[in-house]
Amino acid sequence: MDGFNAAVDALAGAVFFKVPLLGAQIELIVLYLAVPMLFFTIWLGFPNVRAIGRALRILRTQPGAGEAKGDVSQWGALTTALAGTIGLGNIAGVAVALTMGGPGAILWMFVIGWFAMTVKMAEVTLGLKYRTFDSRGHVHGGPMYVLRAVGAARGWPRLGLVLGGLYAFFALFGAIPMVQVNQSFAQVKVVTGLSNGWAYGVLLAAAVALVTLGGAAWLGEVAKRLTPLKVAVYLAGVAAVLIVHAPAIPGALTQIWHGAWSGGAATGGAVGAFVAGMRRAVFASEAGVGSAVMAHSLARVRHPVSEGLVALLEPLLGTMIVCAVGGLALVVAGTWRSGLEGIAITSAAFAQVSPWFPWLLAVVVVLFAYSTLVAWGFYGLQAWGYLFGNGPKAQWSYKILYIIALPPAAAIDLGRVVDIVDSSFFLMAIPNVIALYLCAGELRRDVRAYLRGAEDREKRVGEAEAFG
C-alpha cells in the first residue's frame, strides 16, 4: 500500500504543478481550464445568459424516433449525462471544497459553474458534429473522435490520432468513479455499522453489472428514472437543513461572500478558496473534461448546436443549484469545521434535522453513486471501443474489467481517491481543450448560424399564427 500511495502522490504532484500567482501558489492546470471558460463565454456571445430559454424549448420540441439520427431522445441524453455529472462529487465534493478553501469556495463553485455552461455547450456541439455511426447504425462519439476528425481535416492526421488516443487512455482511468464507491460506503457504514468495504463494493458492482451489461438502452431507462428522483430527494433533505437553521442563513451568506475575497490563513485565503472551488466545480460539472460528450452523442438531433444548447443545463443544475445550495446547508450547519471529512460532513448536517436523516442521506448517496457508476461505465466503454474496437469481445472484456475494478475503491483512503480522480479528470481535459481551441472559429459560425435560423423560424411561426 505504501508503494501505491507514493505513486498516487507522484501523479498528483505532476498534474497539480503549482506556479506563483498574485503572491500565492496556484495549480497550472486550474488556470488551463479557467481560461477557456472565460474565453468561450465571450467568444460565443454569452449563451449561458441568452440561450437557457431556448434550451428548454428544444427539449419540448425534440425529434422523436425516426425523425433524426441517434439512439436516444435529447431528454434521454441529458438525463444520462446528468446521471454521470450529478454524483457524489456534488455532495462529498462540496464538503471537500469547504475543508480545502473555506466557505468562499462555494461562491467560486457557483461562478465557475456559470462559465462552465459555455464550455459544456462548445464541447457537446463538437461531439455531435463529429460523431460516427457504425454499420449497425449505433452512435460512437466523444472528444477522441473530435480530435481524430479535426486532426485529419487540418492536415495533422497522426497528431489527431495521438491526441484522441491519449484522451481515451486517460478516460479509462477517469471512468472508474472511485469517489462514488468510497463515499457511498462511508455513509452506509455510518447508518448501518457495516465495516466490510469489500463486501459493499461487490454488492454495488453486481448492481451496476445488471445495467452495464444490458447496453445503452438500459442505461437511458435507468438514467431517466433515477436522475430526477435522486436530485429531488437530496434537495428535499438540504431544504430541511436550511429550514432548521433559517436564522443562520444571512450570516452564512456573508461568510461565503467575504471568504471568497479574503478567506483565511488556514484555507489559503482568497486564492485558496478559488482553487478549491475550481477543482470541485470541474469535478462536479465535468466541463472541459469532455466526458458528457459521450452521452450527448447518442441524442437524436436535427442540428449539433441544438444538443449543445441542451448541455448548457448540466452545470446550471449540477453545480450552480445542487452544489451551491448543498454548500450553503453545510455552512449554516457548521459541520464543515467539525474535523470530519467528505460525506461525513454532510451526514452530520443532516443529523441536526433528525436522528433518522442520515438514513435519508444514505439512500441518496447510494442512488447518486449507482447512477454515476452506470453512466461512467458507458463512458469508459466508449473510450475502450475507440482504442480496441467496438466488437462484442472488446466490449465484454471492458465491461468485466470495469465491474472488477469497483470493489477496491471502498477500502482506499479518501484523500488518495480524490487525487486519483482529480488527476485523471484534469489529464482528460488537456487534449479536449486543445480540440476546443482548434475549432473555435467553426464553433462560433455554427452557433451564430443556428441561432439566426432558429429566430427566423420562430418569427415565421409567429406570423403564421397571427394571420392564420
**Tens digit of each residue's pLDDT (9 = 90 or more) over 194-207:** 777 788 888 888 88
* C-alpha cell recorded at residue 337: 469545521
Whole-number pLDDT of residue 220: 57
| Helices and strands of the chain, counted as H and E runs | 23, 4
Whole-number pLDDT of residue 124: 95
Segments making up each domain of the chain, as ranges: 32-467
Distance CA(462)–CA(6), nearest Å, equals: 64
Is the CATH number 1.20.1740.10 carried by domain 32-467? yes
Tell me the average pLDDT of the chain: 81
Instruction: Give per-residue burial for 408-446: e unless 16+ CB within 10 Å, then b.
Output: ebbebebebbbbbbbbbbbbbbbbbbbbbebbbeebeeb
* C-alpha cell recorded at residue 369: 453513486
pLDDT in tens, 95-120: 878 887 788 888 888 888 899 999 99
Whole-number pLDDT of residue 104: 84
Please state, for a pLDDT cut of 70, what percent of the chain lies above it.
86
Whole-number pLDDT of residue 182: 73
Confidence class for position 442, pLDDT limits 50, 70, 90: very high
The DSSP line for 101-147 is H-THHHHHHHHHHHHHHHHHHHHHHHHHHS-EE-TTS-EE-SHHHHH
pTM of the model: 0.83
Distance CA(63)–CA(54), nearest Å, equals: 15
Confidence class for position 462, pLDDT limits 50, 70, 90: very low
